[in-house]
Amino acid sequence: MRSTIGIPVLAVLLLSGGFAADSQKDHNDAFMPGPENETQLAKQVRHNLLTLPYYSIFTDLAFRLEPGGVVVLEGACPPEPPWDIKSDAERVVKKIPGVTKVVNNIKELPLSPMDWQIRRAVARAIYGAPTIGMRYGYQALPSIHIIVDNGHVTLEGVVDNQFDDTLIRTRANTVPNVFSVTDNLRVINPSEDKPPKKKKS
């Protein structure tokens, strides 16, 4: 099964605790394979990827475990010279005991100054909103990831409710030079914004 990875936000936002970190942990645990040895392996893979020092909200890494200790890396990463996120992710996973093979399907995004402008602008648009910034931005593991590929934005991660999802998507769509916004955010409490059912008389 595919397991997503929580992502630390920019260096200025390293406060711990709160909803977003807890929600991402629950989201990740939901993708854990059943057998105990696979569960521990998945936790170790996640830990090693999270400790990459330049892992930011502009990177989306995921993985799945296959029989025989095979780990398939997925997601996308922007160019971060002089670092090579794709190669380093493979390197830190390969050294885990029990991993026999790493299939690296992480997509390397193009080196584009315009995409970097869009990444920063979308981050400001989303985390600059008071309700969103306070609830999701000031966490050790923010749950909203911003992936930009030639002007096309994909939002990955988890949010608390449908209202937040709609607000985040709307704000991302207001950023200049964005061609499209794909919303892959998972809503933890989809029924929270629904009106209560009327009692039968």
Answer yes or no: do 97 and 134 share one domain. Answer: no
Residue 132 CB neighbours (<10 A): 18
Among 23-32, 70-79, 96-105, 186-195, which stretch is predicted with the lowest mean pLDDT? 23-32
pLDDT in tens, 118-149: 999 999 999 998 989 888 888 766 889 999 99
Domain range holding 163?
113-187
- Spell out the residues 6+ positions from residue 82 whose beta carbon is closer than 8 angstroms to its own: none
Mean pLDDT of 82-86: 85
Residue 13 backbone dihedrals phi, psi, to 5 degrees: -120, 70
**Same domain, residue pair 32 and 103:** yes
Tokens of 118: 């869009």
For the entire predicted model, the pTM comes to 0.74
Question: Does 99 lie in the same domain as 138?
Answer: no
Residue at a domain's end among 61, 84, 108? 108
Number of domains in the chain: 2
Query: Which helix (H) or strand (E) covers residue 25, if one does?
Result: helix 19-29
Q: Look at residue 92 and tell me if it is in a domain.
A: yes
At residue 79, the pLDDT reads 84
Residue among 25, 4, 1 at smallest CA distance from 140: 25
Examine residue 166 and state whether it is found in any structural domain, yes or no. Answer: yes
d(CA 151, CA 180): 7
Same domain, 45 and 73: yes
Residue listed under structure tokens 């749950």: 143
How far apart CA 124 and CA 165 sit, in angstroms, is 16
